[in-house]
Chain A
């Protein structure tokens, strides 16, 4: 006979599985066994059904799929005998969970069993219902359970009480039905019933305010008395745990008193005595006693104030904290965290012990202690505590460093008494664990550095030293590179020496060395390398004698596979080589970053914005015009805010600076003027994707924004010669990648002029141009009607002309049919097509669109694509 047919006994199967030497062997045995069980199931074998189910449960525990056995559970439950039901319910609880549809099928059997005459069968059904009931079942069977709360046998009543907990958790509206039965259960003597009734009572109080009020009025006194009796009860072996009578009951009583006493002075008053009794009389040399004390302390902390009791509680915690048992210490740390809001002073007294716990071997204790220390730090103790923590950082576990640095940084940031101290501490943290800090941390450090002008020299020198010793910590490298770029001259000339500093001799070449090492380090990531390039550009102006060397280093990145680095190095190279006259102005020192804005942003958790404000190189253009607002900021070192809304002083400002000539020359510049050399970085830099400058508005935009933020750009503007600006104006808004694309919104039309927008040249190539005309219906500002006019500048006819457009999710686009699909040459006619765009984020985001035009020229397919991001801002 096959030893693995369904005739095998459970014991034999388990033996066979245990005898397997490899996982593959085990799988084979299980597979065979499952096959025979399946066969038995399809044969509807009654005799061995319970045995098969038991086997399935074992197989299930090993982690194999057993869903095919689910129906067997239902069949066994529906059988009449107790043994079948017992194994059936066990299987049900083990193999199914509340989310399976099959479970619904068992509702009817459950209902019958809940009404069964055999109390053990009722018990099985209650147990199953309590463990895996779904909301639907809970609703259907609640009346049965409610009735069973009054069943003659206490062992059924206690099961029904716990089952009710599940029911009210699933369906909180049913709570009120249980309030009265529970009130009578709370008067019972049977411990099991009391335990479960108290638990149910606690759960009722959390789901229903009315229930809480009811129990508070009716039951507080009685429960206090029960606790008193329990505390004073004589030795009862049945409930005794290491010399304490039923700690489980005492703990639950303390817990319910906590709920009832919380926020109610009268109820709290009633329980004062008994709490004092528990706190003083309970033995604390065994775990059970400590569990009660722990619960008691928590109750004392939660109920209404009674000074004497709180002193008692804090003393207990003090004892816990010095206990040698790790569990007790862990619990004490947990409790002290809650106690801190009640009596911070008392907790402060244990600071030294808590600090020791931060260095414990046990990760659970360390974590708790660290959180507690974090709460304990204040202005007066921040310096010694931070020192302790930073000292510990050196020797702490690798996997604890992340948590620890985050907390130290947060403490230092929150409570630093002066900037010098802040910078010093942060440098220490970065040197120890620069690879563990989050980006916000070093971003924040840079903000603070820019805000401390008298410390610039000191900081850059400290960083120079730090990078020598801790060059493997990414965050140190980044901050150092940034600062050397900014304040390289202070480093070399020892400017701004503080008294406590030792002078160091750093040559210009040394400073460049640091950055060269950083950019070449293979572990440096894109952000660091990009920052290095920017720093090099800055140094090329600060250290003219190193200019050639820097240019060589920058050039090495020209071949980088990372688009970002490649583009940056090409641009910077071009600036270093060809535009010496504006370079020094371009790379002026960063303006002071606004701390308030920074922290405000961070509070609003806008990481993207934060990194922009940091001039985070990742936001530098990577060839996608729509990301182009960061680049200008970065190149001109305007760090800060998002492009400010155009302000009215813009045009005046421009006129002041450039005089009317420019405006007129700008207005002459037409769209058809041939584009100047596209490789010229500066042209690129200043070419605008804006409506071709008929009114010079794009320039206004750029520089008015600049003005908003920073004087540097004013300088930059000063040094721009007139022709440059003009040619910049004239460069057409074609699809070349223009850095300033995002900055060239069409002129803002004053609101009172109604919805009138100038036409926009949306696309322009040598052969094709598209002009958008906008109109809005009054009353629906979010909808924009666009009339697109396509004209053909070549001499050939385009056939099969198709225009397609795509928009991001916050927009909806409706395209109407075009007026024709043939576009005659030489501008002898045009196609028009209407688009309707609905902007769901009107006022917050402006329109943006990707377009694709396909047509046939002499039967040859031609495809053109582009992106339009220079829509008028308030569409």
Chain B
């Protein structure tokens, strides 16, 4: 099981946090601080796993951004590397060559995508196509609602005039 997903920039800025196990607000800050200290300082050729408080934290670096997932000792760290890759590929396809700024300004969309990939710390879907289809469908629903709102308010405005 994945206990949490973190995304930290090389400067130590948090870009995404998702907690599947209960951590209080204080603990979260502490965890992030501890892990940034451990992971950001590691050299480039070292393995992608750090052992931390009896868990394993698997991380992968994409440009200036580290994606980390915390798993149990007995979990498969190589698979987690693939899950991170899968998540990033999905982001890439959604944003079209994703960059850190996309994740900052559209952070909520990042979360929506993550929610289509993981629930309760487990993988939900292995097809890239389905994830996109689901996200697109939901985005469409939002668009439709917006348009409808706009037309209604347009009418209201008209009436008021």
* Residues in A lying within 8 Å of B, measured CB to CB: 11, 14, 18, 54, 57-58, 61-63, 65, 81-83, 86-87, 90, 93-94, 97-99, 120, 123, 126-127, 130-131, 155, 158-159, 162-163, 165-166, 191-192, 195-196, 199, 238-239, 241, 246-249, 251-252, 287-288, 290-291, 294-295, 326-331, 361-365, 367
* Residues in B lying within 8 Å of A, measured CB to CB: 14-20, 22-25, 29, 43, 45-51, 76-79, 81-83, 85-86, 104-105, 107-108, 111-112, 115, 119-120, 122-130, 134, 137-138, 141-142, 145-146
Given A11-B105, A195-B126, check contact A97 B29 (CB 8 Å).
Answer: no
**A704, B54: Cα distance in complex, Å:** 50
B53 to chain A, nearest CB (A): 14
21 contacts between A and B (CB under 8 A): A18-B104, A57-B107, A61-B17, A83-B146, A97-B23, A163-B120, A192-B125, A192-B130, A196-B124, A199-B122, A238-B130, A241-B85, A247-B79, A287-B78, A288-B82, A294-B76, A326-B45, A327-B77, A361-B45, A362-B46, A363-B50
Contacts of A81 in B (CB 8 A): 145
Q: Is the CB of A163 within 8 A of B119?
A: yes
The A/B interface has a contact count, at CB < 8 Å, of: 163
Contacts of A328 in B (CB 8 A): 78
Known: A87-B108, A162-B124, A287-B82. 5 other contacts (CB 8 A): A97-B23, A159-B124, A196-B122, A248-B83, A365-B47
**A14, B47: Cα distance in complex, Å:** 34
Contacts of A163 in B (CB 8 A): 119-120
- Which residue on B lies nearest to A62, using beta carbons? B14
**A93, B119: Cα distance in complex, Å:** 11
- Which of B14, B46, B126, B130: most chain A CB closer than 10 A? B126
**A248, B124: Cα distance in complex, Å:** 10
Q: Is the CB of A155 within 8 A of B123?
A: no
Q: Is the CB of B20 within 8 A of A131?
A: yes
**A363, B29: Cα distance in complex, Å:** 24
**A432, B94: Cα distance in complex, Å:** 56
Q: Is the CB of B47 within 8 A of A191?
A: no
Q: Is the CB of A61 within 8 A of B14?
A: yes
A97 touches which of B22, B43, B124 (Cβ 8 Å): B22
A727 to chain B, nearest CB (A): 61
Q: Is the CB of B124 within 8 A of A120?
A: no
**A196, B117: Cα distance in complex, Å:** 11
Given A83-B141, A191-B126, A241-B82, check contact A130 B105 (CB 8 Å).
Answer: no
**A196, B130: Cα distance in complex, Å:** 15
**A367, B50: Cα distance in complex, Å:** 10
Contacts of B20 in A (CB 8 A): 131
**A361, B45: Cα distance in complex, Å:** 10
**A90, B119: Cα distance in complex, Å:** 13
Of all A-B residue pairs in the complex, the 10 with the closest CB atoms, nearest first, are: A291-B78, A326-B47, A162-B119, A130-B119, A130-B120, A362-B46, A192-B125, A248-B126, A166-B120, A330-B47
- Which residue on A lies nearest to B47, using beta carbons? A326
**A675, B16: Cα distance in complex, Å:** 77
Q: Is the CB of B47 within 8 A of A329?
A: yes
Contacts of B126 in A (CB 8 A): 191-192, 195, 239, 246, 248-249
Contacts of B43 in A (CB 8 A): 361
Contacts of A247 in B (CB 8 A): 79, 82
B55 to chain A, nearest CB (A): 13
**A844, B46: Cα distance in complex, Å:** 54
Q: Is the CB of B120 within 8 A of A131?
A: yes
- Which residue on B lies nearest to A154, using beta carbons? B130
**A163, B118: Cα distance in complex, Å:** 11
B36 to chain A, nearest CB (A): 12
Contacts of B85 in A (CB 8 A): 241
**A518, B113: Cα distance in complex, Å:** 65
Q: Is the CB of A61 within 8 A of B46?
A: no
Contacts of B111 in A (CB 8 A): 90, 93-94
Contacts of A248 in B (CB 8 A): 79, 82-83, 86, 123, 126
**A857, B129: Cα distance in complex, Å:** 95
Contacts of A62 in B (CB 8 A): 14
Q: Is the CB of B119 within 8 A of A155?
A: no
A335 to chain B, nearest CB (A): 11
Q: Is the CB of B120 within 8 A of A120?
A: no
Given A57-B107, A155-B134, check contact A364 B82 (CB 8 Å).
Answer: no
- Which residue on B lies nearest to A196, using beta carbons? B124
Q: Is the CB of A327 within 8 A of B78?
A: yes
- Which residue on B lies nearest to A236, using beta carbons? B127
Given A131-B119, A199-B122, check contact A294 B108 (CB 8 Å).
Answer: no
- Which residue on A lies nearest to B15, using beta carbons? A61
A660 to chain B, nearest CB (A): 66
Q: Is the CB of B14 within 8 A of A364?
A: no
**A258, B50: Cα distance in complex, Å:** 26
A82 touches which of B16, B112, B145 (Cβ 8 Å): B145
Given A58-B107, A238-B128, check contact A127 B115 (CB 8 Å).
Answer: yes
Contacts of B108 in A (CB 8 A): 54, 57, 87, 90
Q: Is the CB of A291 within 8 A of B145?
A: no
A54 to chain B, nearest CB (A): 6
B46 touches which of A99, A131, A199, A361 (Cβ 8 Å): A361
- Which residue on A lies nearest to B38, using beta carbons? A363
Contacts of B122 in A (CB 8 A): 162, 165, 196, 199
Q: Is the CB of B49 within 8 A of A327?
A: yes
- Which residue on B lies nearest to A327, using beta carbons? B47
- Which residue on B lies nearest to A54, using beta carbons? B108
A88 to chain B, nearest CB (A): 12
- Which of B51, B107, B115: most chain A CB closer than 10 A? B115
- Which residue on B lies nearest to A255, using beta carbons? B76
A295 touches which of B76, B81, B83, B137 (Cβ 8 Å): B76
- Which residue on B lies nearest to A17, using beta carbons? B104
A49 to chain B, nearest CB (A): 14
Q: Is the CB of B120 within 8 A of A362?
A: no
Contacts of A291 in B (CB 8 A): 76, 78-79, 81-82
A206 to chain B, nearest CB (A): 11
Given A158-B124, A364-B50, check contact A61 B107 (CB 8 Å).
Answer: yes
